Chain A
């Protein structure tokens, strides 16, 4: 199959960008989207042109490195699929595909389709962890967790931090990401002691970045390659409101 690609090319952060049209020839329907781009890049390199920069690592849909917008949809048209796991068979011969980086003030473009997603890391740093001794691995089932809670925690923990939720959101909000990261710890016994501080600190960090504000449009849920539900956003909303009416953990401890 032959395709026309309109790709956002930008030399570096702050540099002006523009769309450049490329032809992808003799693409096998069995190749992945990134393999198709690899082939296009080999052609560009052979012609002495700069290859299209895109982020990738595992190519198994579990690392969260890859992701760009294909024809207005983050990670492309197939639900629950990262762009590395998207195969060319979902497209048709002659298709014209527009490839655009995530567009958000919080995600400055570094080059072509690569954006800086450090803002998500800073949200994690604000509370997406458990302050517990991490010696050797504890015995399995030393801390009991109900199966339902474990399942839901895993659903949230499936978040790979790719940023598609922000990219898809008409408000460029990071609520689904933050909700997933707050919830997967908040659903487990180990996450309980810091649950309320975590919700407050991570929301404050999220608000401190250049993200927008959620208006419940559900675009994030539809774009998420891990199909994380906005039910976790409801849970974050609930936790944050409850947390606001509780003293911080340090303050509560001082009162004893």
Chain B
């Protein structure tokens, strides 16, 4: 335990925590995408998937137990990721009190430079996303959201064009975050940097697959392919 505390007390340790929690979150995003794409198999398959998440681990586990365990792990990862990010960001902001009059970004990508505010956009999106598709508290006419009908909820939710637009913008932010984040995990955890090209390629694949996969759903609903 003292080793973890020693790590957390250093800037590099906090970054390692961000990388490890990042792995958890990227894993979640990929599994979430796999679930989302079942929308193309029809209402039966999609609703069965939604139900299956809650019945996962039965009969050893109770209904919803596995799902809540995973949710708590995710929540812990999100909290650690954000706490470390905020602490490191404040240190960095304090480190250059007088800005350059002129400063050129020679190597930093747009994705790298927008990690912080992109992260803020993602937090706001996740809050909205939970209020929307998990709780049905926003974005629906009264009585329109039915917890057991995940497929209908998605279709009804995405038929509102500006809700779909917000989801698409959020996915762009997620794509940028993944593009820099996935590559950064390897660098931060000190995996041999001689294979940098491979990690960069992996980051591109993850970002593109997640964004294209997720964005296709609101577009398919708006285009009438999924109804």
A and B are partners in one complex rather than unrelated chains: yes
Residues of A whose CB lies within 8 Å of any CB of B are 19, 69, 71-73, 98, 100, 103-106, 168, 170-173, 200, 203-204, 206-207, 210-219, 221-223, 229-231, 233-241, 244-245
Inter-chain CA distance A31–B12, complex, in Å, is 43
Please name all residues of chain A whose beta carbon is closer than 8 Å to the beta carbon of B10 when the two chains form the complex. 200, 203-204, 207, 240, 244
For the complex, is B112 an interface residue (Cβ under 8 Å from A)?
yes
- Of A203, A219, A221, A223, chain B has the most CB atoms within 10 Å of the CB of A219
- Chain B positions within 8 Å of A19 at CB level: 101
Most buried by A among B3, B14, B190: B190
A173 x B92 contact (CB < 8 A): yes
Chain A nearest CB: distance from B82 CB in Å? 15
- A-B CB proximity, top 6 nearest: A238-B190, A212-B92, A212-B95, A231-B193, A72-B104, A171-B92
A57 nearest CB across to chain B (Å)? 25
For B97, give the chain A residue with the smallest CB separation: A105
Which residues of B line the A interface, CB within 8 A? 3-4, 6-7, 10-16, 88-89, 91-109, 112-113, 115, 180, 183-184, 186-194, 196
Give the residue name and chain of the B residue nearest to A242 (CB).
B190
A236: chain B residues within 8 A (beta carbon)? 12, 190
Contact B101–A98 (Cβ < 8 Å): yes
In the complex, how many angstroms separate the beta carbon of B2 from the nearest chain A beta carbon? 9
Kindly identify which residue among A104, A207, A241 contacts B190, using a CB–CB cutoff of 8 Å. A241
Q: Tally of A-B residue pairs with Cβ under 8 A? A: 142
Given A72-B103, A223-B106, decide whether A210 and B95 contact each other with a Cβ distance below 8 A: yes
* Cα of A237 to Cα of B13 in the assembled complex, Å: 8
B contact residues around A212 at 8 Å (CB): 91-96
Q: What chain A residues lie within 8 Å of B88 (beta carbons)?
A: 213, 215
| A residues near B4, Cβ cutoff 8 Å | 244
Contact among B91, B180, B194 with A213 in the assembled complex (CB-CB below 8 Å): B91
Whether A73 and B91, one on each chain, are in contact in the complex, defined by CB atoms closer than 8 angstroms, is no
Closest to B191 in A: A234
By a CB distance below 8 angstroms, the chain A residues around B109 are 217
> Which residues of A have CB within 8 Å of B97?
105
Select which of B103, B104, B112, B194 is within 8 A of A217 by beta carbon. B112
Sample 23 A-B pairs with CB under 8 A, ordered by A number: A71-B102, A72-B102, A72-B103, A100-B102, A103-B98, A105-B96, A171-B92, A173-B92, A173-B95, A203-B12, A212-B91, A212-B93, A213-B11, A215-B88, A216-B187, A218-B107, A218-B112, A233-B187, A234-B188, A237-B12, A237-B189, A241-B13, A244-B7
